[in-house]
Amino acid sequence: MNHHAVDGTVLVTGGAGFIGSHTVRSLRDAGRDVVVLDSLELGRREAVIDAPLVVGDIHDRDLVTATCNEHGVTQLVHFAAYKAVGESMDSPAKYWRNNVAGTVDLVEACMASGVNHVVFSSSCSVNGTPDVVPVTEDAPIRPESVYAESKAMVERILYWYGHTSDLRSVSLRYFNAAGASFDGRIGEDWTYSQNLVPLAMKALLLDDRRLKVFGNDYDTPDGTCIRDYIHVADLADAHVRALDYLGRGGDTVAINVGTGVGSSVLDVVNATAEVAGQPVPYDIAPRRAGDPVTTFADPTLALEALGWRAQYGLREIVDTAYAWHLSQVDAGR
């Protein structure tokens, strides 16, 4: 039985990626019809499982229009973006074209097909290094990379669409997504990942790897940076709830999605060692430019607006990630 305020199909761009594929499963578990649009440049076909997959680009307006019309799309969840901070500084045009201009092309094509609800994959990095933690939604927008600026720009673009058209949107500002599905079917491809949890797993499971811990002289309890790690299953659930919020007539809004709990780099390393029953080999490296010392979310608005709160913590993140990466290594991937 479908209890959602909006019928019709959800178009999920980037649905073959890490967070996208988990969200596709959550939407299907919630009884929604889904169609995925993904270039498969960084996504994996098998991660979509049995949802319909259209291979193509968000810039391709004819393809987006045809997909919306053919599948009866009524709502959009937009993940498709490049997300490597370092690369964004070396190749900024790639990020402006894809993340910003590509989103405009996508949204215009969707609106022309009658789609007026967008849930956008934003990032807590729009706030840069926050003055105050926990971080609330009214913290200053101060991106410290081209990647973060591209997310902030799309938030502004969606805000103005809300004034110039019928489009309403929820920008979900994720903190650090991690973990894998509880049944072990899908997880994070570590091939290109710069994220701490898969890098810690790599150091643990591959003989020739050591984890780099960037800086152990910060003003934190153990000297390493503190972040808010959120289980990808919780994050997927927030997207389902955000679509329902728009379906109920909710206004355009940006919402932090985090646990409200900060964990240090060494907390993650130690939790990983505990789950695996062996230490994670690591070296202390110099601090990285642009790394905030401490950031974690104030998740109050997510609870008030979406009825959402994180169900899982660092232990479930590390448990599911370890099981997933172990299965991939055993399968020779």
**Strand runs labelled E in the chain:** 9-13, 33-38, 53-55, 73-78, 117-123, 168-174, 176-178, 211-214, 226-227, 229-231, 253-257, 263-264, 282-285
Catalytic status, residue 82: no
Nearest to 201 by CA among 271, 284, 293, 291: 271
3-state DSSP of 224-247: CCEECEEEHHHHHHHHHHHHHHHH
Q: Which of 78, 102, 82 is nearest to 91 (CA)?
A: 82
Q: Could you say which of 82, 147, 229, 322 is catalytic?
A: 147
Which pairing describes strands 263-264 and 253-257: parallel, antiparallel, or unpaired? unpaired
- Active-site positions read 147
